[in-house]
Structure 1
């Protein structure tokens, strides 16, 4: 017994229990992280799988029977007393009852997308072969049966016709192609002309502010009128082309029927896709899944951000992080070099370091308020008065935008870069500095050619931490440049190509808006999961890229020092 107690005491003294405890804690954390990511992936990316369309009939509270059609979203078991309190007829000996949430679509017909139905009085589910799901640009999905295709008022094909589905696919592809052409004309060609027209207005206003009068102003007005006439003539040609395409796009119409017999006319230019999930096999559904997922990643949002894609939010997040990194890295590195290599050690320097450490713990919303007050209103307002006076009272930089959001995040992450760089500089042995000086190098040459390259991996570590924090911040961005909907990207073909004054979308704010501000909660739920996982994957990608660069630099300078 004594030997056993002694062995246990020796085991505890050896530190092995703490090794196992730490290993177990790390394993539990990894399982939790992987489990969380798996839950988000299943709940989010499972939304893009084409679900089968069911049809059944139910009995409402008044005892009337109705035919319903849609997709099963989820089910849950509730006490039967809750159903009785809601006015439903449930047998007294029943204690628990199942209810189902159906996505019925047809919001323009029924006024609602999702509804709960009790299993009591519900008939057996059927999966009709001809049932279709129509994803529309407005009013959400439509579930029902196709009836006929019309071109203007001329009947082209009916469901009983042998070429009906071929006609539907051909005319839908044509409508999608025309819609893409119209979209490109509106965003590119018409947008370019509008930009040039606005530049003319601002140029005329600038002459007035410069005090140009008399004959010079008259000559300038004549030139402006000629240039404006050229733009208007160009706009007329483009508008005619757009109107012709729009007339072609609205030519074809699909006649469809709901499960309860109501007929609906849907223009093909309002349709995104038509599917028959009940007739699709696994491989066909996989293809449809890939198409929907790609649309989610590459398209603009629709229907109050509850449909469509999130590409503007992805692009805005990535652009903001890159601009932030460009600004925070040189300032953070220079500040750390000064504090470590040049500043005189003493009480004042200790106060500065304590202040830097405290800045890292300041709530992010405080940075947002500071950025709004100082960057936007003070700096931005003064820039407008100095360089963009012709645009006033409409602000250019005196309003939240990409540049101020990036600068606010740079200020937010600056302490992280400073601390990481300082720690990297402090780990470089003094013998390396002394050896460089002994060989005749100056202090500046030693710093920039020997010390700083060896500290580059630590600088990259600070940048990695800064990127990880900046990409996930939301609170300050709501004040300094991020908005709910900004489908126009901050990069386009108009000079200066990157528009730092433009407002952007952000994945973090998009998650908040869709999850808590959406008028259609059930439709937004899977998009919250999918967008959250996209944000996590984007942060992981940025971090892996930075880590790869850091490791390459570490190996490079390690081999050089050897």
Structure 2
């Protein structure tokens, strides 16, 4: 017995239990992380699969049976007493549990809502007709029904077996016209409006400076006339395109038998999922997935894509990295290489470490008060007086959001850089100085390159923290919808004063502010997964650069 106790004590003394405990804790954390990502992926990516459409007869006791058409979203078992308390005509006798199903019925413009809960036991004659049609619209969500006929300028051109092939061909034509319309409105007409606004500001600037003489007015009037002539030409093209865009229409019949005529210009996709094979469904799935990544949002961000949010997140993170790296490195170099190591330096280090624990929303309030109102307002008064009282930099925008995140993340870069500088042997500095190099040359050519892996580590940590922040961004530049990108073909090409979209804020907005919660829920999962992927890609890129630098300077460290 004593020998057994001694062996147990020896086992504990060896530290093996703690090793296994730590390994188990790490394994549990990894499994939970992978499980969470898998759940997000399944819930989010499954949204783009073209699910079959159900048609069934719904017979509520005491009411006239009606036909329902829609997608089965989820099913759950509910106590019979709970359904009775909700006012449903459920009989008291029978099984304790009943099935409640959520159907996506679409046709929101006709019924007022996309989704409806129904009692599964009251659904009968379930079927999936091959000719059931799903119309994804630019507004009002999906439409479910049967195709009746296809019209061109009000005249029927196809029905029956010829309708779907002709519909797909004309949908391709509409897609091409939509791209032309979008390019004309955003690029050409948007460029003219931008030039007209710059011309107005130039005139105002000349007026403020007292240089708006007759010659200047004539020159401005000539330029404005040229721009107006171009604008009129683009407007004529726009009118012709819109007329061609709305030429064709589709007549469809819903579950109640009501017929509706829908312009093809209002449709994004028209497909019959019950008649599609797996190959066709996979092709459609990847088309929808690409649309999600590359298109602008629609329907209060519950439909369409999230490309502006992806672009805004990546650009804001890169601008933040460009700001935080030099400031963090310079501060760390001063504290480690130049500052006198006394009480004041220790206090500064304590303050830097404490800054890392300040709540993010505090940085947002600081950014709004100092950067936007004080600094931005001063820039407007000094450099953009012609635009006042409309603000240019005195309003939340991309630059202020990036600068606020840089202030939030700079303590991380300072601490990591200082640790890297401290690991460089003193003999390396002394050897450089002994060969005749100055302290500045030693720092620039020897010390900083050797500390670059630590600097990249600090940048990785800064990106990981800043890219997922939402609270401060709500105050300093991120908005619900900003389809215009901060980079375009209009001078000065990069618009740091422009508001942007962000994946983190998009998740918050769609998940908690959406008027259509059921439609928005899958997009919350899909956007969350995409945010994790974007942050991971940014981090992996920085890690790859850090590893290359570490291998390059490993020999010098040894």
Contact kept in structure 1, 2:425 and 2:557, CA below 8 Å: no
Deviation at 1:561, TM superposition (A): 5.1
The secondary structure found in structure 1 opposite 2:332 is helix
- Deviation string, structure 1 residues 115-147 (Cα, Å, up to 9, x no partner): 000123220310011001110000000000000
1:37 lines up with 2:37 in the alignment: yes
SS in 2 for 1:120: helix
Q: Is there any run of 5+ residues in structure 1 with no aligned partner, and where?
A: none
Instruction: Give distance in 1, aligned partners of 2:430 and 2:383.
Output: 50
Contact 2:424–2:557 (8 Å) recurs in 1:
no
Question: Which 4+ residue blocks in structure 1 deviate beyond 3 angstroms?
Answer: 559-562
What does 1:289-308 align with in structure 2 at a 5 Å threshold?
289-308=285-304
8 A contact 1:61–1:88 mirrored in 2: no
Aligned length: 557
Mapped partners of 2:323, 2:438: distance in 1:
29
> Whole-Å Cα distance in 2 between the matches of residues 391 and 423 of structure 1?
47
**For 1:503-532, what per-residue CA distance to the aligned partner results, in whole angstroms no more than 9, with x for missing partners?**
000000000000000000000000000000
Alignment-derived partner of residue 63 in structure 2: 63
| 3-state SS of paired residue (2:122) | coil
1:392-403 paired onto structure 2 within 5 Å: 392-403=388-399
Matched residue of 2:466: which SS? helix
Which residue of structure 1 lines up, in the alignment, with residue 520 of structure 2?
A: 524
SS in 2 for 1:145: strand
Q: Does the CA-based 8 Å contact 1:61-1:87 persist in structure 2?
A: no
- CA distance in 2 between counterparts of 1:59 and 1:471 reads 51
1:138-173 deviation per Cα after TM superposition (whole angstroms, max 9, x unaligned): 000000000000001211011x2x422221111111
Secondary structure class of the residue paired with 2:467: helix
* Residues 60-139 of structure 1: pairs in structure 2 closer than 5 A: 60=60, 62-94=62-94, 95-139=96-140
Which runs of structure 2 are paired with 1:7-406 in the superposition (5 Å)? 7-60=7-60, 62-94=62-94, 95-158=96-159, 160=160, 162-212=161-211, 217-406=213-402
Return the alpha-carbon distance in structure 1 between the equivalents of residues 188 and 154 of structure 2. 33
Distance (Å, rounded) in 2 between the aligned partners of 1:87 and 1:470? 49
Superposed CA RMSD: 1.1
Please state if 1:487 is matched with 2:483. yes
* 1:186-225 deviations in Å (ceiling 9; x for gaps): 0000000001111111111011100225xxx222112111
**1:235-280 deviations in Å (ceiling 9; x for gaps):** 1111111110110010000000002101011100111011111011
Matches of 2:109 and 2:143, distance apart in 1:
9
Q: Once the 2 structures are TM-superposed, how far is the Cα of residue 348 of structure 1 from its aligned partner?
A: 0.7
CA distance in 2, matches of 1:445, 1:233: 60
Looking at structure 2, the residues matched to 163 and 342 of structure 1 have their Cα atoms a distance apart, in angstroms, of: 81
Deviation of the 1:26 alpha carbon: 0.6
Give, in whole Å, the separation in 2 of the partners of 1:353 and 1:326: 23
Distance across 2 between alignment mates of 1:12 and 1:105:
64
Q: Distance in 2 between matches of 1:513 and 1:226?
A: 46
Q: Is the 8 A contact 1:491 1:499 kept in 2?
A: yes
- How many angstroms does 1:439 deviate by? 2.5
**What is the CA-CA distance between 1:105 and the residue it aligns to?**
0.3
Does 128-137 or 426-435 show the bigger shift?
426-435
- Does the CA-based 8 Å contact 1:56-1:122 persist in structure 2? yes
Contact 2:106–2:113 (8 Å) recurs in 1: yes
Aligned position for 2:435: 439
Alpha-carbon distance in structure 1 between the residues aligned to 2:539 and 2:556: 25
> Structure 2: any 5+ residue segments left out of the alignment?
none
What is the TM-score when the length of structure 1 is the normalising length? 0.98
TM-score by length of 2: 0.98
